[in-house]
Amino acid sequence: MRSPRNYKRIVIKIGASIFAGDKHKIDTALIHDISCQISALVKQGKEVVVVSSGAIAIGMSILKTTSRPKELAYLQATAAIGQHELMHIYKLAFNKHGINCAQLLLTWDDFSDRRYLNAKHTLNTLLELKCVPIINENDTVATEEIKFGDNDKLSALVSILVDADLLIILSDVDGLLDKDKKVIRSVGRITPAIKSLACPTSKKKCVGGMITKIQAASIAVDSGIPCVIANGGKKGIISRVALDPYSRGTIFIPKKK
């Protein structure tokens, strides 16, 4: 049964597919629109953490290459080139609205032992300062993460880390589609039938796909955090979902905390 709720602390995952438009150009207009929506939420008193892909996609754009590098050293170098440009785009976008942002580069090792607590304290302090933390996997030094990792699962772990009220995963799809290609509005339990609806991405600039999004949703809902998969290209999508997670995309309903 739906009930009104104030989603104060929100984690938003932004997929690389949102950054890379046609002809391998970065859609800065869309990034500015997303930043505008997030800034409005912060000014309303909400706390927002962004988990953003895009470093490798932007690096590919700068290097004018259309194929994701296969050799690890070139993949890491591409990420290094793209990461600072990614943050520069965010900085310009948020500064237009008087909002500060900060960069955190994490690996899975940061979610263990004392490093976990350090990351938690840093994020909580940034949120107290009304700053928007922007998190990405540290692809410039990570090895296994680049080959097998994805920011969908990272966003779910970050949601647990900061005790979020809501996780929003933005991609270039409207949500989880059924066999008739219609959006499933809500998922009460992630069953084998639900998992069978997912298919991996075929895009050259990013990893993951609906499979990893469902895996991330499973991690979140098992920890009592609702998760919404929605289309980041739709106008006002963040504002709508933050107000009512049932209004757009697919919501995965959590277990009790």
Whether the predicted pLDDT of 204 surpasses 50: no
pLDDT tens per residue across span 37-49: 999 999 999 999 9
pLDDT of residue 145: 46
Statement: residue 206 has pLDDT above 60? no
Catalogue the long-range contacts made by 188-196 (C-beta closer than 8 Å, 24 or more residues apart).
188/253, 190/214, 190/217, 190/218, 190/221, 190/252
Q: For residue range 103-141, list pLDDT tens digits in order.
A: 999 887 788 777 888 899 999 999 999 999 999 988 767
> Which amino acid is residue 179, in one-letter code?
K
Which residues lie closer than 8 Å to 117 by C-beta, 6 or more apart? none
What's the pLDDT at 20?
Answer: 66
Determine if residue 24 is left, alpha or beta; phi over 0 gives left, psi from -120 to 50 gives alpha, anything else beta: left
In whole numbers, what is the pLDDT of the chain averaged over residues? 87
DSSP letter for each residue of 77-123:
HHHHHHHHHHHHHHHHHHHTTT--EEEEEE-GGGGSHHHHHHHHHHH
For the segment 227-246, the average pLDDT, to the nearest whole number, is 94
Mean pLDDT of 89-100: 96
Domains of the chain, first to last: 9-252 (3.40.1160.10)
Q: Which of 47-56, 102-111, 158-167, 181-190 is least confident?
A: 102-111
Is the per-residue pLDDT at 86 higher than 60? yes
- Whether residue 172 is predicted with pLDDT greater than 90 in this model: the reply is no
